[in-house]
Structure 1
Amino acid sequence: MAKSLSLFHPPLKALARVVLALLPFRALANKKIFMGGSEQARRPLLVADQEDPHYHQSSNGGVDGNSTATGFLVFSTIVAATCSFTSGYCIGYSSPAEYGVLADLSLSMAEYSVFGSMLAVGGMIGALMCGKTADYFGHRTTMWIINVFFILGWLAIAFTKVSWLLDLGRLLQGIGIALTSYVEAFHVSYRFCLFFIPESPRWLLKNGRKKEFEGVLQRLRGKKADISPEAAEIKEYAEFIQLLSENKILDLFQKKYARPIIVAVGLMTLTQFSGLPGYTFYMTNIFVLAGVSSKAGYVTLAIVKILSTTMAIFLIDKFGRRTLLMVSAAGTCLGSLLTGFLFSLQDHHYWISSLALMGVSVYFVSFNLGISGIPWIIMSEIFPVNVKGSAGSLCNLIYWFSSWVVSYTFNFLLEWSSTGTFVIFAGVSAFGFLFTVMLVPETKGRSLEEIQASVTNVLH
């Protein structure tokens, strides 16, 4: 049985990457965890991390020898993967529901823009509280808290008769999504599964529950697995973390962190200002203006997203982060230009309906190839571990603030000029391409010294 289950180990790694790519808000990098991979991938690549000279780990992430992907681990991973459903529902439903909400509650476009953008406001609140919440309550309890936010949010939206309650429901959903992206929580309809999955072994050890830590780790790895090497490494890492002083966000604003902050903040801004919230929250509006059936548009878009996300899983390790980011930025620029050109033709009474789906499809294929997830990966690799939590909170906050700006202003921009709106998005993507070429290092397979030298040569 153990041998057969060990066959699941490579697919589980791929599944983890799918989850990372599908999550709309990738705050996974905020966690103070140590993961498998190359030594270079685990060390900070833009800041010399002199505080952890003795830190090391096995190449397989501490899972040595007899450890296999047990049935329980497979179950826990599958349950964790359902988090994308919750976030997807909360983000995506506002677009097809737009006209129904406007009619039922007699909302103005300005009021609906507030409703659409409240998700991002909740995200900013959740970004500030996610780390402390997970550290204090543990990931499993935090998942229950997340479900409370989602349930209350959906109930407020479902039974509302006034706009402020609608906005409150959207706000609660935003908080839930931000927390979800940190702890990899689950879709509300799978909340019963929380009874059967364990608390994080690292959290148990951190809180002094050593017996439970070993029991949970043994259960995850299998009864016959030798967990001694992995347990020893986790304990060593936990002791190392305790020796580090906990940094606050303000501690990031030092000269030694200037370069990684520029790179991380620039990529977080690119993720949103390239147009994602506008496309996502108001896709129905785009299809209607373009004269395309919303059902056909959404089916096509879903297929495109699945295929492009699957492609990204296999391409990221082959071509590297920086290359995919450049391709992604160039592609989103092209997609936005095609969409803008479509509306330009509409203004002159010419029409090519297939161009609408083509432009949107090019945008999302390109976005999912790189901009969707790679910024979070790079962010997790360029900061030392003692500031990674603070850096993650800062990046999360900027990510959500950028989302709020784009989602709130999108309808107003469309009223101003449909063509101009997407040309602006294309311009941001073009700037992101240049930003990546000039400032973003390739972190895959490179040593700290190589990254430092390349960034120094560019900035000086």
Structure 2
Amino acid sequence: MNTLAPNRDRQNTRYLVFLTTVASLGGFLFGYDTAVISGTTDFLQERFQLTDLELGWAAASALVGCIIGSASAGYFSDRFGRRKALLLAAIFYTVSALGSAIPMNLTQLSLARIIGGIGVGAASVLSPLYIAEIAPEKIRGRLVTLVQIAILTGMIVVYYVNAQIAAAGDTPWNVRAGWRWMFGSETLPALLFWAALYFVPESPRWLIKQGFLDRGLAVLARIGGTSHAQTELAAIRETLSHEQGRFQELFQPRYTRVLIIGIGLSILCQATGINVIMYYAPRIFVSAGLDRTSAMTQTVLIGLTQFVFTCIAFRMVDGMGRKICLLLSVAGMGIALFALGGAYRQEHPHGILLLTCVLGYVASFAIGMGAVPWIILSEIYPTRLRGRAMSLAIFFIWFTNFWVSQLFPLMLKTMRENVFWLYAAICVFTFLFIWRIIPETKGKSLEQIEHELLGI
């Protein structure tokens, strides 16, 4: 029986959107788990009598798990499949949500947050990887951008949830119990993600790599039709024939450029300070003299701004191209950070001025540095090594994120406005790196990109 016949030659947009949506739930939980800490920091500090360094650890402990999850997800997904690895990430999310709601001390909370971080780190590799491997090249950029939109949706939702929970009681209640409800609220979306993954197939490229040609061909055909499936199969098999698939292969001279692109972009997208703003926005505003309620409200505006401008990026990445988006983005970030440092230097900074600088920075980040690095990382590596190569690059995202987040409370206290000018200087270097090193990949198949970068 010909399993491809019913698909003919039409792209099954509805099915493609369904697969992308389910994979993007990993991104939603990524954002939810990452941002939930922002509403709890002051309450945690009072509840457990934390120093600034201990508070930094409470926020950054999840990033240790992110490092572990991102480093191991590639091997696990290359060995056992993208779908099974995503299922495991969903389990980590669920366990962490429950564990973070019941700790009696900082150590227990940190352990639960590390478990959640493993899920976040794994999903940060696997969600864009899965989508890139199922998406037609003409819309791949936009579909991978949906992961970033999902991340921001998760952040906005948890900002709202945190604000509602905080408003449900006074400060003593929030110190005693409110923050527990904030962490525990992640359980529901984590269970939804786990259940939804049972209705999606394995990545067709992974199936073909493992020798399951009929199953891989059937998935490709259901997505894009028979002709699309046959064309993709031929291209995938051709590139696989030139690859060995061993991790050590990544360190051969012909892979030097893609390693520099992947690792360099991963470090710089975090070293320019985005998660300082996302994790510590209320603390930045409070330290500048605003009251806590206003600070929490302005944090919701930050999430909404990033969401809106990421939706704009959704249209730009497959039109203007990846590289132009990155250059515009990092230029705007540098200008906004320089202005933020100047505003923060004032003895009594105006809340509107601070908010304008932060929103300008976030908007600039969203149109390029927010989504495009994840697209490029999912495109530049060869099929047999894509999972492990993405793990290596995303390991550096979380490693950099950890140190930036861990040190920021202390740096803000000791350096004040100079910390924002330091990030502005890093933006200048990042602009030059992108201009000289990053290739344009819009409108090209994964196999074509591999051929151009590696000569395969």
Task: With the length of structure 1 as denominator, give the TM-score of the two structures.
Answer: 0.74
* CA drift at 1:410: 0.6
Taking the aligned partners of 1:72 and 1:326, their CA distance within structure 2 comes to: 34
C-alpha change, 1:262 and 1:226, in structure 2 (3 Å) is: closer
* CA drift at 1:401: 1.0
CA RMSD of aligned residues (A): 3.1
Taking the aligned partners of 2:392 and 2:424, their CA distance within structure 1 comes to: 26
Classify the secondary structure of the residue corresponding to 2:354.
helix
Query: Which range moves more in the overlay, 391-400 or 255-264?
Result: 255-264
C-alpha change, 1:232 and 1:431, in structure 2 (3 Å) is: closer
* CA drift at 1:409: 0.6
The 5 Å alignment of 1:40-439 reads 66-69=9-12, 71-184=14-127, 187-190=189-192, 191-209=194-212, 212-213=215-216, 220-221=222-223, 227=226, 230-231=229-230, 233-234=232-233, 237-238=236-237, 240-241=239-240, 244-248=243-247, 250-290=248-288, 291=290, 293-345=294-346, 348=347, 350-385=348-383, 387-439=385-437
Q: Report % sequence identity.
A: 29
2:310–2:371 Cα contact (<8 Å) kept: no
Residue in structure 1 matched with residue 133 of structure 2 by the alignment? none
Deviation by residue 1:262-287 (Cα, 9 ceiling, x = unmatched): 33322212101100121121112112
* CA drift at 1:158: 0.7
Taking the aligned partners of 1:167 and 1:106, their CA distance within structure 2 comes to: 15
* CA drift at 1:229: 5.2
Taking the aligned partners of 1:327 and 1:395, their CA distance within structure 2 comes to: 23
2:75–2:388 Cα contact (<8 Å) kept: no
Taking the aligned partners of 2:47 and 2:195, their CA distance within structure 1 comes to: 34
Structure with greater proportional helix content: 2
C-alpha change, 1:317 and 1:81, in structure 2 (3 Å) is: same
Taking the aligned partners of 2:366 and 2:266, their CA distance within structure 1 comes to: 15
* CA drift at 1:354: 0.4
Taking the aligned partners of 1:391 and 1:203, their CA distance within structure 2 comes to: 14
Taking the aligned partners of 1:211 and 1:259, their CA distance within structure 2 comes to: 34
1:338–1:355 Cα contact (<8 Å) kept: no
Gaps of 5+ in 1: 1-62, 453-460
Taking the aligned partners of 2:384 and 2:19, their CA distance within structure 1 comes to: 29
* CA drift at 1:144: 2.3
C-alpha change, 1:266 and 1:140, in structure 2 (3 Å) is: closer
C-alpha change, 1:78 and 1:284, in structure 2 (3 Å) is: same
Gaps of 5+ in 2: 1-5, 131-149, 151-188
Number of residue equivalences: 382
2:62–2:113 Cα contact (<8 Å) kept: yes
Taking the aligned partners of 1:69 and 1:119, their CA distance within structure 2 comes to: 38
C-alpha change, 1:295 and 1:162, in structure 2 (3 Å) is: closer
1:64–1:230 Cα contact (<8 Å) kept: no
Query: Which range moves more in the overlay, 234-243 or 371-380?
Result: 234-243
Deviation by residue 1:333-363 (Cα, 9 ceiling, x = unmatched): 1221222122201xx3x33210111111011
Taking the aligned partners of 1:264 and 1:217, their CA distance within structure 2 comes to: 27
* CA drift at 1:84: 2.7
* CA drift at 1:253: 3.7
Residue in structure 1 matched with residue 172 of structure 2 by the alignment? none
1:120–1:174 Cα contact (<8 Å) kept: yes
C-alpha change, 1:194 and 1:382, in structure 2 (3 Å) is: closer
Residue in structure 2 matched with residue 18 of structure 1 by the alignment? none
